[in-house]
């Protein structure tokens, strides 16, 4: 029964029509099916809800009152900056255990060593191993929600036993991207093994649970392991990133109709984000993937935030980021900044993956752009498409077109070309 997927309700509401992985259809009880919903918890999702950051010894003791043997939390050490303290309630009082870094690992007794805090807490949850008591119940920091619990509640938690990791297809500073098999389906898996990094990617995964569009890479589920590993499982995109696809095929393989189709695919995804008040913030051809049947899908939601969010702009890709976003130390990003980036992405598509602002030193890009400089049209680019690029690069953000307007204009261009 685990291999069945619901299609629609049968006449009896207690049953669903379903299809399994080999295409056979039948009916299954409705209680076999868990309805998925977006992760919209009121609290902040945390892989370490028991971690309270910079609080004092006295504050920790107040949080662990009234005494309950096995109740615990972890805080940053006040006496030894850079280290941590495990605070445990036991027999009516609170014990404080210093967690020290030694050769890049964490330890309490210099006998057992751990890669991260999650591994350490897991170990002492199973065995006191020299502590006054086994860790039994976490004292959750106010305003946080355990990520694993929230993904399970909303139907997005997958079983690690059902996932087979097959081969590495990409390596980055945050972890590996691998091809995997989940219950007979080929999938892509981001494997993040550092607890601090995994915490950052929880935000990406929670955003992906709220988004569903044919031109966005679809999240299939999340696996949170007690030992600190996070797996984000998505649909597999066989032809890789759009920028690599464009560079490897070139104009001898890809015609104008294909370039226009890719442009429309991305625009429709961005129109959907725009309508749902989300801003991508890192739109570029490197963050668009191509499926086996040549559908372009926007990916990498690591920077995606609701449009009202104010974010630090210290590490932004200069050549793709709007001038107003680069100008401000802290900036309220809007769809209009994504529109600027989309204009750069259009230029990438029609130049078959060239790096924007060729022959201009990076330090000169921003000053020239702020004075009104716009890149020339790529060779062979239709004038109507280049005109859209220039509209996206309007310095006054309010005067830039919406993604809806861009999509309508691209559809008009495509219809005209098909007619001709």
Annotated binding-site residue numbers for ATP: 190
How many CB atoms sit inside 10 A of residue 215's CB?
19
Verify whether residue 162 is a known catalytic residue.
no
Q: Identify the helix (H) or strand (E) that includes residue 243.
A: helix 242-249
Q: Which two tokens stand for residue 296?
A: 């372009």
* 66 cis-preceded (ω within 30 degrees of 0): yes
Task: Output 256-260 pairs: Cβ under 8 A, ≥24 positions apart.
Answer: 256/380, 256/382, 256/417, 257/414, 257/417, 257/418, 258/294, 259/349, 259/350, 260/385, 260/410, 260/413, 260/414, 260/417
- CA distances in angstroms from 85 to 69, 79, 112, listed in the order given: 17, 10, 16
Task: Output 77-81 pairs: Cβ under 8 A, ≥24 positions apart.
Answer: 78/54
The Cα 279–Cα 270 span in angstroms is 9
Given the residues 195, 282, 300, 338, the one annotated as active site: 282
Report helix, strand or coil for 293: coil
> Which residues are annotated binding-site positions?
190
Is the Cβ–Cβ distance between 280 and 299 less than 8 Å?
A: no
Is the Cβ–Cβ distance between 346 and 392 less than 8 Å?
A: yes
Query: Please, what's the b/e burial string for 152-182 (b: 16 or more CB within 10 A of its CB; e: otherwise)?
Result: eebebbbeeeebeeeeeeeeeebbbbbbbeb
Question: CA Rg, the chain, in Å?
Answer: 25
Cα–chain-centroid distance for residue 313? 18
- What torsion do the CA atoms of 396, 397, 403, 408 make, to the nearest 10 degrees? -20
Which one, of 215, 100, 222, lies nearest residue 163 by Cα? 222
Q: Which two tokens stand for residue 165?
A: 């990791």
Contacts of 226 (CB under 8 A, 6+ apart): 118, 122
Q: Which two tokens stand for residue 414?
A: 């495509």
Report helix, strand or coil for 192: strand
Q: Residues with catalytic annotation?
A: 282
């Amino acid at each position: 029964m685990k291999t069945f997927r619901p299609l629609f309700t049968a006449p009896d509401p207690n049953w669903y029509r379903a299809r399994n992985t080999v295409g056979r259809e039948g009916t299954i009880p409705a209680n076999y099916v868990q309805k998925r919903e977006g992760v919209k918890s009121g609290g902040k999702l945390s892989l370490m809800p028991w971690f309270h950051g910079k609080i004092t010894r006295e504050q920790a003791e107040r949080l662990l009152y009234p005494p309950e043997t096995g109740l615990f939390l972890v805080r940053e050490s006040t006496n030894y900056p850079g280290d941590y303290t495990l605070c445990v309630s036991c027999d009516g009082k609170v014990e404080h255990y210093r967690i020290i870094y030694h050769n890049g690992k964490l330890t309490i007794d210099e006998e057992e060593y751990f890669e991260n805090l999650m591994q350490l807490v897991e170990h002492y949850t199973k065995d006191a191993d020299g502590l006054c008591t086994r860790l039994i119940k976490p004292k959750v920091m106010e305003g946080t929600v355990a990520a694993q619990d929230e993904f399970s509640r909303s139907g997005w938690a997958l079983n690690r036993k059902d996932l087979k990791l097959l081969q590495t297809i990409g390596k980055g500073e945050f972890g590996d991207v691998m091809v995997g098999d989940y219950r007979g389906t080929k999938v892509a898996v981001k494997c993040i093994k550092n607890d601090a990094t995994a915490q950052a990617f929880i935000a990406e995964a929670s955003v992906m649970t709220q988004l569903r569009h044919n031109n966005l890479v679809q999240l299939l589920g999340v696996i949170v392991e007690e030992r600190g590993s996070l797996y984000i499982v998505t649909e597999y995109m066989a032809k890789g990133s759009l920028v690599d696809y464009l560079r490897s095929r070139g104009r001898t393989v890809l015609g104008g109709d294909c370039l226009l189709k890719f442009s429309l695919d991305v625009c429709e995804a961005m129109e959907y984000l725009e309508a749902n008040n989300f801003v991508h913030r890192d739109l570029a051809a490197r963050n668009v993937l191509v499926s086996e049947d040549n559908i372009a899908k926007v990916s990498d939601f690591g920077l995606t935030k609701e449009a009202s969010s104010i974010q630090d702009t210290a590490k932004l890709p200069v050549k793709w980021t709007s001038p107003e976003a680069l100008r401000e130390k802290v900036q309220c990003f809007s769809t209009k900044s994504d529109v600027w980036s989309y204009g750069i992405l259009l230029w990438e598509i029609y130049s078959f993956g060239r790096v924007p602002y060729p022959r201009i030193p990076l330090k000169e890009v921003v000053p020239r752009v702020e004075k009104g400089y716009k890149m020339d049209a790529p060779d062979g680019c239709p004038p109507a498409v280049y005109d859209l690029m220039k509209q996206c690069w309007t310095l006054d953000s309010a005067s830039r077109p919406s993604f809806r307007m861009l999509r309508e204009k691209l559809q008009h261009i495509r219809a005209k070309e098909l007619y001709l």
